[in-house]
Amino acid sequence: MMVRQSLTITVMLGGPSAEREVSLRSGAAVGRALRSLGHTVHELDPAVPGWELPAGTDAVFLALHGSYGEDGTVQRQLDKLGVAYTGCDAEASRVAFDKVQTKERCLAAGVPTPRFAVIASAAADWPAGWEPPVVLKPVRQGSSVGLQFVEARAGWRAALAEALRFDHEVLVEERIVGRETTVGVLDGVALPLVEVRPRQGAYTYGNKYTAGATEYFCPAPFEAAVTERIQRAGLAAFDAVGGRDYGRVDVMVAGSGSPLVLEVNTLPGMTETSLLPMAAAARGLTFGALCQRMVELALRHGPAVTAAPSKSMT
């Protein structure tokens, strides 16, 4: 479906999550791109309850990250308003935002993922049967928020307490030694792989958002057969959570070339240097063309419903 006419698009950005600042940057980049294509663009920050969609909204572009934006909350609200929106639906968003449910869906679908356990108490001891190193992740947070690497048992207590600041449950995951990649998904197709190589340490929140701290390679330099294997795993994980339209799947690649899915991102970063736009560019899609395609996919799920001035959510 090609959408050629000028539309009125509301970009939702910011929000109440720990990833608010990144979301503001994503939304600003998307807004510029859509305006350059001739669309009328409004920006809406849903950080305060009681937000209203601007009158005449044809579609909502979700540039939100983290809780509220990626956990299915805003999607359920937009479903009630009958307005088309970009990205996955409410249920897929809810599942993908929960790292444990994502892993369970992957295992049920035969998609490899690192060994894991769940901890719900800061007083919990080192898990029986495990050896360091491990990774601790808040179960329901953005991909790098609260991320902790534990190299020795002596660091367990402090790392667990820090991870629990961001959620009441923490995922303990086997740390995979290998190469870190991400699989962009657009309309059921895997985009060229991006390999992530931090200059120092791991791909933490700081290394992700500090200029020059990480090197990116796209297309990632793997043999063709390994590339295909990684892309298949990414697509299978996206399907396992019920994803639609677009997303990004983070995958570790062990030394043998075996992919292990870490998590699924349903609203990945959308600055012009983010990983999904980087992968799309390697396929020949400019940032503006990618944003346009995302809007087209949103409208494909049903006719756009013009929002009345009174349409609001509390």
Q: Sketch out the chain's domains with CATH numbers.
A: 8-87+288-300 (3.40.50.20), 94-112+177-266 (3.30.470.20), 116-174 (3.30.1490.20)
The Cα–Cα gap between 146 and 119 comes to 14
Single-letter amino acid, residue 26: S
Span of 209-223, 229-243, 274-288 with lowest mean pLDDT: 209-223
pLDDT digits (tens, 9 = 90+) for 84-136: 999 999 999 999 999 999 999 999 999 999 999 999 999 999 999 999 999 99
pLDDT at 304: 42
The Cα–Cα gap between 136 and 118 comes to 9
Q: Name the residue among 89, 92, 73 with its Cα closest to residue 17.
A: 73
The Cα–Cα gap between 247 and 190 comes to 10
| Annotated catalytic residue within 56, 169, 174, 209 | 209
| Annotated catalytic residue within 25, 244, 248, 293 | 248
Q: 260 pLDDT exceeds 80?
A: yes
Joined together, the tokens standing for residue 147 give: 């991320």
The model's pTM: 0.91
Is 265 catalytic? The answer is: yes
The Cα–Cα gap between 14 and 19 comes to 8
Instruction: Please report which helix (H) or strand (E) contains residue 195, including its range.
Output: strand 194-198
Is 207 catalytic? The answer is: no
pLDDT digits (tens, 9 = 90+) for 146-162: 999 999 999 999 999 99
Joined together, the tokens standing for residue 136 give: 């601790």
Is 302 catalytic? The answer is: no
Joined together, the tokens standing for residue 90 give: 């409410």
CA quadruple 279, 282, 286, 292: dihedral sign: negative
| Annotated catalytic residue within 143, 144, 207, 274 | 143
| Annotated catalytic residue within 23, 93, 207, 265 | 265
DSSP states of 293-305: HHHHHHHHTS---
Is 263 catalytic? The answer is: yes
| Annotated catalytic residue within 19, 89, 195, 245 | 19
